[in-house]
Structure 1
Amino acid sequence: MRIALITGGNKGLGFETAKELISQGYKVYIGSRSSERGQEAAAELGCSCVQLDVTDEQSVQQAAQFIQEKEGRLDILINNAGISGGFTTTRDMTMDIVKEVYNTNVFGIVRMMTSFVPLLEQSEQPVVVNVSSGLGSFGMVTNPETMESKVNSLAYCSSKSAVSMLTLQYAKGLPDMKINAADPGATNTDLVGDASNNAKPASEGVIPIVRLATIDANGPTGTFEDGNGIIPW
């Protein structure tokens, strides 16, 4: 049985990803900043939970130690935890907002990889999925025909562009792993808001995440995909 860990797994896309992987027979751990909310979600899903705050170095290290003691390896890491920064306009942007967004969306991935790569290396087929966004795609945001081109969110968009480069560099530097980025699109989660923007349900948004999490040894690495396949960086 392959073992997966999903950061920010107690709600939204993380929760729906966990639900789908469990239904396919994977053993899933969900990471949650709040132990209480994490345990509630884990009970509903029928999986295990680990307290995990990607902005806290000690929390990440303790989570890695927990998985090490319980399993001795990790097969699939899904770096899902993310924040929007409130989609603050460029004119109103502050350094504190940018730091907060990057601390979760970008540096959180680095913390996770630093602590969990040794566990992934114990897997026969290690896989990493970084949950990104089309809002971080230069090709999408410069195409006037896309929804992404209509959004101006300096901190969030630039943080997701950074996730793309992290994905590429980790894929190059760790060739024995399959490391890809997934764009779930606009989904009805508390990150995006309600359905007023015609966002799809989270159960549809997880399609590229689950697809990339469940690839085999012949699967891709260093790609950026949405529900329909490859999208531009």
Structure 2
Amino acid sequence: MNFAYQKQIKDMKRVLITGANRGIGLETARQMLKNGYYVYLGSRKMASGQGAVDKLKAEGLTNLEAVQIDVSDSESIKTAHDKIGQNIDALDVLINNAGITGPWPQTSDADISVFKDVYATNFFGTVQVTQVFLDLLKESTEPRIVNVSSSLASMNLHNNPNWKFYQAKGAVYNSSKTALNMYTIHLAYDLRETRFKINLVDPGFVATDMNNFTGTDSVMVAAARVIKIAMMESTGPTGKFFSEDIDPENALCPW
């Protein structure tokens, strides 16, 4: 273990954010840094991650480093864990932000290869990252896991013709997030007697390259929604889905 490095960040909370080299993930990293966290900026490609780190450091935000992590690659996840674990004995927050939409349109007869590709990142990838990093999270005094989901995962809303996104059917992407929601509920239940707070966040319809910047919310607004739950107090709930896009009062999203 690098003790000089450990001393440098010993009084800081540490967060790993996957898919943090752009979009919501990058802005989440920026806002977590401004709130005093040491950020492990996860990126599928190291060059992209380092570019994001350089950008943030140019803004005067220095307490971060790039970590190569491809959530669809088991070995990449384990390597990232080992790299981080060499220098710290506890991880305080895991934000599972990495995700892909897959090609559109996505009707129910989409090729099975499309389902497999999207699920490999959005569902299986998030599950494995969580499982691999759970040991470091358990060493935190206030461990938090935030899984970035979507209101498009709601079965109730997709059965409501009056919902504003009723027509936004996507058999692949939407169902991958529905599966993630169910896993999160079970994970929170399994760890209900611990200090963990494990929740889902709908960042909203955000203008990013994933939707060709057609979204109506900014990445700043989306990231603020994510970090609010990431920094939740010990009295907060666990196993819930928060969506300010559905309810401005931050009520729980209808499943």
TM-score, length-scaled by structure 2: 0.87
Q: Deviations over 1:146-196 (max 9, x none)?
A: 23311111000100101110110110112221100000111111122223x
Question: Do the aligned residues in 2 keep the contact of 1:126 with 1:178 (CA within 8 Å)?
Answer: yes
Structure 2 counterpart of 1:31, from 42, 46, 53: 42
| Corresponding residue for residue 116 of structure 1 | 133
Q: Which amino acid aligns with 1:68?
A: G
Aligned: 1:174 with 2:185: no
Moved more, 92-101 or 74-83: 92-101
Shift of residue 139, structure 1, vs aligned partner: 2.2
Q: Deviations over 1:69-101 (max 9, x none)?
A: 121110000000000012333166100000000
Q: Which has the larger radius of gyration?
A: 2
Q: Which amino acid aligns with 1:25?
A: G
Aligned: 1:84 with 2:95: no
Looking at structure 1, the residues matched to 108 and 186 of structure 2 have their Cα atoms a distance apart, in angstroms, of 32
Looking at structure 2, the residues matched to 153 and 85 of structure 1 have their Cα atoms a distance apart, in angstroms, of 10
Runs (5+) with no aligned partner, structure 2? 1-11, 58-63
Residue 60 of structure 1 aligns to a residue whose secondary structure is helix
Q: Deviations over 1:35-63 (max 9, x none)?
A: 00100101112321100000000000011
Q: Give runs of aligned pairs for residues 121-160 of structure 1, distance below 5 A.
A: 121-160=138-177
Looking at structure 1, the residues matched to 94 and 21 of structure 2 have their Cα atoms a distance apart, in angstroms, of 15
Q: Give runs of aligned pairs for residues 177-216 of structure 1, distance below 5 A.
A: 177-195=196-214, 198-216=215-233
Residue 85 of structure 1 aligns to a residue whose secondary structure is coil
Residue 148 of structure 1 aligns to a residue whose secondary structure is coil
Residue 104 of structure 1 aligns to a residue whose secondary structure is helix
Moved more, 73-82 or 62-71: 62-71
* Root-mean-square deviation over aligned CA pairs: 1.2
Structure 2 counterpart of 1:10, from 10, 21, 38: 21
Q: Which amino acid aligns with 2:137?
A: L
Task: Give the paired residue count.
Answer: 231
Looking at structure 2, the residues matched to 83 and 137 of structure 1 have their Cα atoms a distance apart, in angstroms, of 18
Moved more, 63-72 or 29-38: 63-72
Question: Do the aligned residues in 1 keep the contact of 2:197 with 2:238 (CA within 8 Å)?
Answer: yes
Q: Which amino acid aligns with 1:110?
A: V
Looking at structure 1, the residues matched to 54 and 109 of structure 2 have their Cα atoms a distance apart, in angstroms, of 41
| Corresponding residue for residue 232 of structure 1 | 254
Question: Do the aligned residues in 2 keep the contact of 1:32 with 1:51 (CA within 8 Å)?
Answer: yes
Looking at structure 2, the residues matched to 43 and 158 of structure 1 have their Cα atoms a distance apart, in angstroms, of 36
- Classify 1:70/1:127 alpha carbon distance in 2 versus 1 (closer, same or farther; 3 Å): same
Moved more, 77-86 or 200-209: 200-209
Question: Do the aligned residues in 2 keep the contact of 1:8 with 1:32 (CA within 8 Å)?
Answer: yes
